[in-house]
Amino acid sequence: MTAHETLNAILESPEFAPHIVVNRLLPAVEGSFAPFPAGLDHRIAAVLRKKGIDRLYTHQAEVWERVQEGKNVVVVTPTASGKTLCYNLPCLQALLADESARCLYLFPTKALSQDQQSELNELSGKADDPAGGLNLKIATYDGDTPESLRVSARDTGRIIISNPDMLHAGILPNHPKWIKFFSRLKFIIIDEAHAYRGVLGSHVANVIRRLRRITAFYGAQPQFILCSATIGNPRELAEALIGLPVTLVDKNGAPRGEKRIILYNPPLVDPVQGIRRSAVTESRRWMISLLKAGIKTILFAHSRIKTEIAAAYVNEDLANIYTDNSRIRVEPYRGGLLPNERREIEKGLRDGTIQGVVSTNALELGIDIGGLDASVVAGFPGSFNSFWQQAGRAGRYLGVGVCRHGFSH
């Protein structure tokens, strides 16, 4: 059977079909493209073409234009729409045009930082690369960075990748050691800006104001580029975070494949009291059915304990299931894992040695975790923004929401 036939067979099966309350197809959308900007460095264009990119999405081209005008920009487009290239292009251009220039990338999680460094390293290449390497030093400076590498990162890193916590506790208090970096800072990138709301957002806003004061003290006035998932007031949030006027770019030019959204209520076990089966239990059943059908799946549980338990039960249920003579491998992903454990799981998801993952919201953000086909969300994650972020982790076929308290739709 084809992937669509397999998926339809699961959706129409007696164990799931009676309890599906919403089955909605989101049709595919064609992309809108623009040529490389006329002023783009030929070395960057060569590296992109080597990766199979010979044109930009229209929102990427619009961000380039606004940045070249000297404006601060916030980009708001759906998951997997190429927001990373929106800020990488202006930053790489600035670094190649000025050998002393520096850029600062801020991400809310270490996993996202490592993912972005991998992508930047791939873009940067080496100076002797036949396609024209950029040979730029990219360094991560966070709690996982060994002491032996921190001085080198601080002194020679052209792009420093960090997070607001490390900026607050490890970088800004030691700003005299960072004079070379701060005095030549051209861009500050704030990815996943929607994560900085409420009390956390107010703290981050104050850290950003400290950062601006220090860069001004050393004679730099860096531009800001922010990226966010789809929210109701992105410009207001961005301006509150950085304390400066911001231009909004929200017309998505990226194509989107067909996707089906399923909302599922677990069956009643006590109709009198209205008690239903556990959302985590039903989510496991969805994940097992999808994995057995060869559909790579991510399951979002909303606590570390539920993540570990769900992964253990899924692996137990799949212990005797073999696909192409290799066991289906499912791993838990949560905060508290050692750095090398996180990297191993992220790598396994990309190269296909891991077919499924059970995660807390640690993988909700825009980490490149390979070709996952289905996303199962166990219970309402707290906001519709989080639901769409988690559903967006599956690139092709299916997003399933499982909630024992019903849905409003």
pLDDT of residue 324: 46
In whole angstroms, what is the distance from residue 241 CA to residue 202 CA? 8
In angstroms, the CA 162 to CA 128 distance is: 28
Say which residues have a Cβ less than 8 Å from residue 44's Cβ, sequence separation at least 6. Answer: 89, 92, 93, 96, 134
Based on its alpha-carbon atoms, the radius of gyration of the chain, rounded to whole angstroms, reads 22
Among residues 395, 68, 122, 91, which one has the least CA distance to residue 254?
395
DSSP 29: B
Picking from 346, 402, 409, 348, the residue whose alpha carbon sits closest to that of residue 379 is 402
Q: In order along the chain (409 residues), what is the average pLDDT of each group of 10 residues?
A: 80 90 88 94 93 94 97 90 92 95 92 79 63 79 88 93 95 96 97 91 97 98 92 93 97 87 89 87 91 88 87 85 64 81 82 87 65 84 79 66 53
Q: Which amino acid type is present at position 196?
A: Y
- Spatial separation of the C-alpha atoms in residues 39 and 394, rounded to whole Å: 35
Residue 265 CA to residue 242 CA, distance in Å, equals 42
Pairing of strands 330-333, 268-270: unpaired
Which pLDDT does position 325 carry in this prediction? Answer: 43
**Which pLDDT score is estimated for 102?**
97
pLDDT given at position 27: 87
Q: Is 227 within 8 Å of 87 (Cβ atoms)?
A: yes
**pLDDT score at 81:** 84
Cα–Cα dist 240/340, whole Å: 36
pLDDT at 151: 92
* Tokens read off for 104: 């600062």
pLDDT of residue 217: 97
In this structure, the strands spanning 398-402 and 374-378 are parallel
pLDDT of residue 128: 47
Looking at the whole model, is its pTM more than 0.95? no
- Domains of the chain, start order: 3-28+257-402 (3.40.50.300), 33-249 (3.40.50.300)
> DSSP readout, 176-221?
GGGHHHHTTEEEEEE-SGGG--HHHHHHHHHHHHHHHHHHHHTT--
